[in-house]
Amino acid sequence: TLALVAFGLAATAAKADPKGCDDGEMVIKFSHVVAATGHPKGDAATLFAKRVNEEMDGKACMQVFANSTLFDDDKVMEALLLGDVQLAAPSLSKFEAYTLKYRLFDLPFLFESLDAVDRFTQSDAGKGMLNIMEDVGYTGLGYWSSGLKQFSADKPLNVPSDAAGLKFRIQTSDVAEAMIEAMGASAQKLAFKEVYGALQTGVVDGQENTWSNIYTQKFFEVQDGVTETNHQLLAYLLVTSTEWLNGLDPEMRDQFVKIADEVTQEANANVAAIEQKNRQNIIDAGGTIRELTPDQRKKWVETMKPVWDQFKGDIGQDLIDAAVASNS
Ligand code: LMR
Protein backbone atom coordinates (compact mmCIF):
# COMPACT_ATOMS: atom_id res chain seq x y z
CA THR A 1 0.00 0.00 0.00
CA LEU A 2 2.78 2.38 0.92
CA ALA A 3 4.49 1.86 -2.38
CA LEU A 4 1.21 2.49 -4.18
CA VAL A 5 0.59 5.69 -2.24
CA ALA A 6 4.14 6.87 -2.97
CA PHE A 7 3.70 6.04 -6.64
CA GLY A 8 0.38 7.88 -6.69
CA LEU A 9 1.94 10.98 -5.15
CA ALA A 10 4.84 10.94 -7.58
CA ALA A 11 2.46 10.58 -10.51
CA THR A 12 0.36 13.48 -9.23
CA ALA A 13 3.37 15.69 -8.62
CA ALA A 14 4.67 15.13 -12.15
CA LYS A 15 1.45 16.49 -13.61
CA ALA A 16 0.79 20.19 -13.29
CA ASP A 17 -2.90 19.65 -13.91
CA PRO A 18 -5.35 17.69 -11.72
CA LYS A 19 -6.66 15.80 -14.72
CA GLY A 20 -3.23 14.71 -15.77
CA CYS A 21 -2.04 17.17 -18.42
CA ASP A 22 1.62 18.10 -18.67
CA ASP A 23 3.01 21.61 -18.92
CA GLY A 24 3.17 22.72 -22.54
CA GLU A 25 0.38 20.45 -23.72
CA MET A 26 -2.64 22.11 -25.30
CA VAL A 27 -5.60 21.25 -23.08
CA ILE A 28 -8.75 20.11 -24.92
CA LYS A 29 -11.79 20.04 -22.63
CA PHE A 30 -14.77 17.93 -23.64
CA SER A 31 -17.97 18.51 -21.69
CA HIS A 32 -21.03 16.27 -21.96
CA VAL A 33 -24.14 15.39 -19.99
CA VAL A 34 -24.45 11.59 -19.94
CA ALA A 35 -22.92 8.75 -17.93
CA ALA A 36 -19.15 8.39 -18.20
CA THR A 37 -19.30 4.67 -19.04
CA GLY A 38 -21.74 2.11 -20.43
CA HIS A 39 -23.29 4.74 -22.70
CA PRO A 40 -22.58 5.35 -26.42
CA LYS A 41 -21.49 8.96 -25.86
CA GLY A 42 -19.70 8.38 -22.55
CA ASP A 43 -17.69 5.54 -24.05
CA ALA A 44 -16.96 7.44 -27.27
CA ALA A 45 -15.66 10.45 -25.33
CA THR A 46 -13.42 8.18 -23.26
CA LEU A 47 -12.07 6.51 -26.40
CA PHE A 48 -11.43 9.89 -28.02
CA ALA A 49 -9.50 11.11 -24.96
CA LYS A 50 -7.48 7.88 -24.77
CA ARG A 51 -6.42 8.17 -28.39
CA VAL A 52 -5.54 11.87 -28.19
CA ASN A 53 -3.64 11.38 -24.93
CA GLU A 54 -1.63 8.49 -26.37
CA GLU A 55 -1.05 9.67 -29.92
CA MET A 56 -0.68 13.40 -29.28
CA ASP A 57 1.21 13.04 -26.00
CA GLY A 58 3.39 16.06 -25.38
CA LYS A 59 1.34 18.18 -27.79
CA ALA A 60 -2.25 17.89 -26.62
CA CYS A 61 -4.17 16.55 -23.66
CA MET A 62 -7.90 15.83 -23.56
CA GLN A 63 -9.97 16.02 -20.40
CA VAL A 64 -13.53 14.68 -20.36
CA PHE A 65 -16.20 16.04 -18.02
CA ALA A 66 -19.25 13.73 -18.01
CA ASN A 67 -22.67 13.91 -16.30
CA SER A 68 -23.24 17.69 -16.71
CA THR A 69 -20.46 18.31 -14.16
CA LEU A 70 -19.06 21.21 -16.21
CA PHE A 71 -21.90 22.56 -18.40
CA ASP A 72 -25.39 21.58 -19.51
CA ASP A 73 -26.17 21.52 -23.22
CA ASP A 74 -27.35 25.13 -23.43
CA LYS A 75 -24.38 26.58 -21.59
CA VAL A 76 -21.85 24.44 -23.41
CA MET A 77 -22.57 26.18 -26.72
CA GLU A 78 -21.60 29.55 -25.22
CA ALA A 79 -18.63 27.94 -23.47
CA LEU A 80 -17.31 26.73 -26.85
CA LEU A 81 -17.29 30.26 -28.23
CA LEU A 82 -15.69 31.63 -25.06
CA GLY A 83 -12.96 28.99 -25.20
CA ASP A 84 -13.94 27.48 -21.84
CA VAL A 85 -14.30 24.10 -23.56
CA GLN A 86 -13.18 22.89 -26.98
CA LEU A 87 -15.51 19.94 -27.57
CA ALA A 88 -19.12 19.05 -26.88
CA ALA A 89 -21.61 16.59 -28.31
CA PRO A 90 -25.16 17.85 -27.71
CA SER A 91 -28.09 16.06 -29.23
CA LEU A 92 -28.98 17.27 -32.73
CA SER A 93 -32.36 18.27 -31.26
CA LYS A 94 -30.70 21.07 -29.32
CA PHE A 95 -29.35 23.30 -32.10
CA GLU A 96 -32.55 25.17 -32.94
CA ALA A 97 -31.05 28.49 -31.87
CA TYR A 98 -28.32 28.06 -34.54
CA THR A 99 -29.92 26.20 -37.44
CA LEU A 100 -33.31 24.71 -38.27
CA LYS A 101 -31.85 22.18 -40.72
CA TYR A 102 -31.04 19.67 -37.97
CA ARG A 103 -34.79 19.35 -37.40
CA LEU A 104 -34.40 16.66 -40.04
CA PHE A 105 -32.94 14.24 -37.50
CA ASP A 106 -35.92 14.76 -35.17
CA LEU A 107 -38.63 13.78 -37.65
CA PRO A 108 -40.51 10.85 -36.09
CA PHE A 109 -40.12 7.47 -37.79
CA LEU A 110 -37.61 8.90 -40.32
CA PHE A 111 -34.81 6.35 -39.90
CA GLU A 112 -35.72 2.67 -39.75
CA SER A 113 -32.42 1.55 -38.23
CA LEU A 114 -29.06 2.79 -37.00
CA ASP A 115 -27.53 1.41 -40.21
CA ALA A 116 -29.75 3.79 -42.16
CA VAL A 117 -28.51 6.64 -39.94
CA ASP A 118 -24.90 5.67 -40.73
CA ARG A 119 -25.65 5.56 -44.46
CA PHE A 120 -27.17 9.03 -44.32
CA THR A 121 -24.49 10.65 -42.17
CA GLN A 122 -21.78 9.28 -44.47
CA SER A 123 -23.55 10.50 -47.61
CA ASP A 124 -22.73 13.84 -49.28
CA ALA A 125 -26.02 15.27 -48.01
CA GLY A 126 -25.22 14.21 -44.44
CA LYS A 127 -21.60 15.36 -44.51
CA GLY A 128 -22.67 18.67 -46.01
CA MET A 129 -24.68 19.37 -42.87
CA LEU A 130 -21.59 19.28 -40.62
CA ASN A 131 -20.58 22.79 -41.64
CA ILE A 132 -23.89 24.62 -41.75
CA MET A 133 -23.26 26.49 -38.48
CA GLU A 134 -19.86 27.92 -39.41
CA ASP A 135 -21.37 31.37 -39.88
CA VAL A 136 -22.26 31.31 -36.18
CA GLY A 137 -18.90 29.88 -35.12
CA TYR A 138 -19.38 26.11 -34.87
CA THR A 139 -17.89 23.23 -36.89
CA GLY A 140 -19.25 19.68 -36.73
CA LEU A 141 -16.53 17.03 -36.58
CA GLY A 142 -18.90 14.08 -36.91
CA TYR A 143 -22.24 12.57 -36.00
CA TRP A 144 -22.37 10.21 -33.05
CA SER A 145 -25.43 7.98 -32.95
CA SER A 146 -26.96 7.11 -29.63
CA GLY A 147 -29.97 4.98 -30.50
CA LEU A 148 -33.67 5.16 -31.21
CA LYS A 149 -36.00 6.61 -28.58
CA GLN A 150 -38.62 4.88 -26.47
CA PHE A 151 -41.47 6.38 -24.44
CA SER A 152 -41.89 5.92 -20.72
CA ALA A 153 -44.65 7.19 -18.46
CA ASP A 154 -46.22 6.71 -15.06
CA LYS A 155 -48.95 4.58 -16.65
CA PRO A 156 -48.94 1.93 -19.41
CA LEU A 157 -48.65 3.30 -22.94
CA ASN A 158 -49.67 0.94 -25.72
CA VAL A 159 -51.18 3.36 -28.22
CA PRO A 160 -50.65 7.13 -28.52
CA SER A 161 -54.09 7.94 -27.08
CA ASP A 162 -52.95 6.34 -23.79
CA ALA A 163 -50.77 9.44 -23.43
CA ALA A 164 -53.67 11.90 -23.69
CA GLY A 165 -53.49 14.54 -20.97
CA LEU A 166 -50.03 13.49 -19.74
CA LYS A 167 -47.05 15.83 -19.61
CA PHE A 168 -43.77 14.68 -21.16
CA ARG A 169 -40.29 16.05 -20.70
CA ILE A 170 -38.69 16.85 -24.05
CA GLN A 171 -35.36 18.24 -25.21
CA THR A 172 -35.33 21.82 -26.54
CA SER A 173 -36.95 20.79 -29.82
CA ASP A 174 -40.09 22.14 -31.45
CA VAL A 175 -40.38 18.95 -33.49
CA ALA A 176 -40.62 16.94 -30.29
CA GLU A 177 -43.20 19.39 -28.97
CA ALA A 178 -45.35 19.00 -32.09
CA MET A 179 -45.05 15.22 -31.85
CA ILE A 180 -46.15 15.14 -28.20
CA GLU A 181 -49.06 17.47 -28.95
CA ALA A 182 -50.14 15.17 -31.78
CA MET A 183 -50.56 12.49 -29.10
CA GLY A 184 -52.94 14.76 -27.16
CA ALA A 185 -50.29 15.25 -24.47
CA SER A 186 -48.32 18.31 -23.41
CA ALA A 187 -44.56 18.87 -23.53
CA GLN A 188 -42.12 20.55 -21.19
CA LYS A 189 -38.57 21.38 -22.23
CA LEU A 190 -36.12 20.52 -19.46
CA ALA A 191 -32.35 20.09 -19.23
CA PHE A 192 -31.23 16.47 -19.12
CA LYS A 193 -29.91 16.66 -15.57
CA GLU A 194 -33.36 17.69 -14.32
CA VAL A 195 -35.28 14.79 -15.83
CA TYR A 196 -34.95 12.19 -13.07
CA GLY A 197 -36.12 14.64 -10.40
CA ALA A 198 -39.00 15.88 -12.57
CA LEU A 199 -40.21 12.31 -13.11
CA GLN A 200 -39.79 11.40 -9.47
CA THR A 201 -41.71 14.38 -8.13
CA GLY A 202 -44.40 14.26 -10.82
CA VAL A 203 -43.50 17.60 -12.43
CA VAL A 204 -43.79 15.55 -15.63
CA ASP A 205 -45.49 12.18 -16.15
CA GLY A 206 -43.23 10.75 -18.80
CA GLN A 207 -40.26 11.17 -21.12
CA GLU A 208 -38.72 9.79 -24.31
CA ASN A 209 -35.15 8.56 -24.55
CA THR A 210 -32.81 5.76 -25.58
CA TRP A 211 -32.29 2.52 -23.64
CA SER A 212 -28.88 3.79 -22.56
CA ASN A 213 -30.21 7.02 -21.06
CA ILE A 214 -33.25 5.31 -19.51
CA TYR A 215 -30.97 2.76 -17.84
CA THR A 216 -27.97 4.88 -16.82
CA GLN A 217 -30.14 7.73 -15.48
CA LYS A 218 -32.47 5.22 -13.77
CA PHE A 219 -35.57 6.78 -15.35
CA PHE A 220 -37.21 3.34 -15.46
CA GLU A 221 -37.18 3.22 -11.65
CA VAL A 222 -39.56 6.17 -11.42
CA GLN A 223 -41.84 5.16 -14.31
CA ASP A 224 -44.53 2.51 -14.75
CA GLY A 225 -42.73 1.09 -17.78
CA VAL A 226 -41.07 1.75 -21.11
CA THR A 227 -42.82 1.23 -24.46
CA GLU A 228 -40.58 0.10 -27.31
CA THR A 229 -41.69 2.61 -29.92
CA ASN A 230 -38.32 3.31 -31.62
CA HIS A 231 -40.07 6.49 -32.74
CA GLN A 232 -37.19 8.91 -33.17
CA LEU A 233 -33.43 9.10 -33.41
CA LEU A 234 -31.14 10.38 -30.69
CA ALA A 235 -27.81 11.38 -32.21
CA TYR A 236 -25.19 13.97 -31.38
CA LEU A 237 -23.11 16.46 -33.24
CA LEU A 238 -19.50 16.29 -32.14
CA VAL A 239 -18.97 20.02 -32.28
CA THR A 240 -16.14 22.45 -31.79
CA SER A 241 -15.45 26.15 -32.24
CA THR A 242 -14.57 26.99 -35.83
CA GLU A 243 -12.12 29.63 -34.64
CA TRP A 244 -10.35 27.20 -32.31
CA LEU A 245 -10.12 24.49 -34.97
CA ASN A 246 -8.84 26.87 -37.63
CA GLY A 247 -6.31 28.27 -35.19
CA LEU A 248 -4.58 24.93 -34.68
CA ASP A 249 -1.23 24.29 -36.23
CA PRO A 250 -2.11 22.49 -39.53
CA GLU A 251 -0.23 19.31 -38.67
CA MET A 252 -1.88 19.09 -35.29
CA ARG A 253 -5.28 19.85 -36.77
CA ASP A 254 -4.92 17.05 -39.34
CA GLN A 255 -3.93 14.55 -36.68
CA PHE A 256 -6.77 15.64 -34.40
CA VAL A 257 -9.40 15.53 -37.15
CA LYS A 258 -8.19 12.10 -38.28
CA ILE A 259 -8.51 10.73 -34.75
CA ALA A 260 -11.99 12.32 -34.48
CA ASP A 261 -13.03 10.58 -37.73
CA GLU A 262 -11.76 7.19 -36.63
CA VAL A 263 -13.33 7.48 -33.18
CA THR A 264 -16.63 8.48 -34.79
CA GLN A 265 -16.65 5.36 -36.96
CA GLU A 266 -15.70 3.06 -34.11
CA ALA A 267 -18.22 4.64 -31.72
CA ASN A 268 -21.06 4.33 -34.22
CA ALA A 269 -20.22 0.68 -34.81
CA ASN A 270 -20.62 0.03 -31.06
CA VAL A 271 -23.96 1.77 -30.48
CA ALA A 272 -26.39 -1.06 -31.29
CA ALA A 273 -24.65 -3.45 -28.89
CA ILE A 274 -24.53 -0.90 -26.04
CA GLU A 275 -28.20 -0.11 -26.58
CA GLN A 276 -29.20 -3.79 -26.49
CA LYS A 277 -27.16 -4.29 -23.35
CA ASN A 278 -28.90 -1.41 -21.59
CA ARG A 279 -32.30 -2.68 -22.73
CA GLN A 280 -31.44 -5.99 -21.07
CA ASN A 281 -30.06 -4.18 -18.00
CA ILE A 282 -33.49 -2.57 -17.50
CA ILE A 283 -35.20 -5.98 -17.63
CA ASP A 284 -32.61 -7.49 -15.28
CA ALA A 285 -33.16 -4.62 -12.84
CA GLY A 286 -36.90 -5.37 -12.76
CA GLY A 287 -38.07 -2.67 -15.20
CA THR A 288 -41.07 -3.23 -17.45
CA ILE A 289 -40.70 -3.08 -21.24
CA ARG A 290 -43.78 -3.16 -23.46
CA GLU A 291 -43.42 -4.29 -27.05
CA LEU A 292 -45.89 -3.10 -29.67
CA THR A 293 -48.05 -5.30 -31.88
CA PRO A 294 -47.94 -4.33 -35.59
CA ASP A 295 -51.36 -2.68 -35.20
CA GLN A 296 -50.27 -0.63 -32.22
CA ARG A 297 -47.13 0.44 -34.00
CA LYS A 298 -49.18 1.57 -36.98
CA LYS A 299 -51.14 3.89 -34.68
CA TRP A 300 -47.93 5.53 -33.39
CA VAL A 301 -46.73 6.09 -36.95
CA GLU A 302 -50.10 7.46 -38.10
CA THR A 303 -50.27 9.86 -35.14
CA MET A 304 -46.76 11.24 -35.42
CA LYS A 305 -45.80 11.28 -39.07
CA PRO A 306 -48.09 14.21 -39.96
CA VAL A 307 -45.73 16.54 -38.04
CA TRP A 308 -43.24 16.22 -40.93
CA ASP A 309 -45.39 18.68 -42.88
CA GLN A 310 -44.94 21.39 -40.24
CA PHE A 311 -41.15 21.31 -40.54
CA LYS A 312 -40.34 20.42 -44.13
CA GLY A 313 -40.00 24.10 -45.03
CA ASP A 314 -37.25 24.55 -42.41
CA ILE A 315 -35.38 21.44 -43.50
CA GLY A 316 -35.87 21.26 -47.26
CA GLN A 317 -37.52 18.41 -49.15
CA ASP A 318 -34.17 17.45 -50.75
CA LEU A 319 -32.65 16.58 -47.37
CA ILE A 320 -35.77 14.71 -46.27
CA ASP A 321 -35.69 12.67 -49.49
CA ALA A 322 -31.98 11.88 -49.01
CA ALA A 323 -32.61 10.70 -45.45
CA VAL A 324 -35.58 8.55 -46.47
CA ALA A 325 -33.51 7.02 -49.28
CA SER A 326 -30.94 5.84 -46.70
CA ASN A 327 -33.50 3.36 -45.37
CA SER A 328 -33.07 1.09 -48.36
C1 LMR B 1 -31.49 14.43 -23.56
O2 LMR B 1 -31.46 15.62 -23.21
O3 LMR B 1 -32.41 13.66 -23.29
C4 LMR B 1 -30.33 13.88 -24.34
O5 LMR B 1 -29.97 14.80 -25.31
C6 LMR B 1 -29.18 13.61 -23.43
C7 LMR B 1 -28.02 13.02 -24.18
O8 LMR B 1 -27.05 13.74 -24.39
O9 LMR B 1 -28.10 11.84 -24.54
| Chain segment 178-198, per-residue pLDDT in tens | 999 999 999 999 999 999 999
Predicted confidence band of residue 99 (pLDDT cuts 50, 70, 90): very high
- Indicate the burial class of 24 (C-beta count within 10 angstroms; 0-12, 13-18, 19 or more): exposed
- Indicate the burial class of 286 (C-beta count within 10 angstroms; 0-12, 13-18, 19 or more): exposed
pLDDT digit string (tens) for 102-113?
A: 999 999 999 999
Q: Which residue's CA is the nearest one to ligand 1's atom 1?
A: 192
Q: Given a cut of 90, is residue 253 above it in pLDDT?
A: yes
Pocket of ligand 1 (CB under 6 A): 33-34, 41, 91, 146, 171, 192, 209, 213, 234
Q: Which residue's CA is the nearest one to ligand 1's atom 6?
A: 192
Query: Ligand 1 center to residue 2 CA distance, Å?
Result: 43
pLDDT digit string (tens) for 262-276?
A: 999 999 999 999 999
CB 304 within 8 A of CB 231: yes
Pocket test for ligand 1, best of 32, 64, 91 (most atoms within 8 A of CB): 91
Query: Ligand 1 center to residue 287 CA distance, Å?
Result: 20
pLDDT digit string (tens) for 299-325?
A: 999 999 999 999 999 999 999 999 999
Average pLDDT over residues 123-132: 97
117 CB contacts (<8 Å, ≥6 apart)?
Answer: 111, 143, 145, 233, 235, 326
More confident residue, 311 or 20: 311
The per-residue pLDDT for 17 is 53
Pocket test for ligand 1, best of 32, 73, 188 (most atoms within 8 A of CB): 73
Predicted confidence band of residue 20 (pLDDT cuts 50, 70, 90): confident
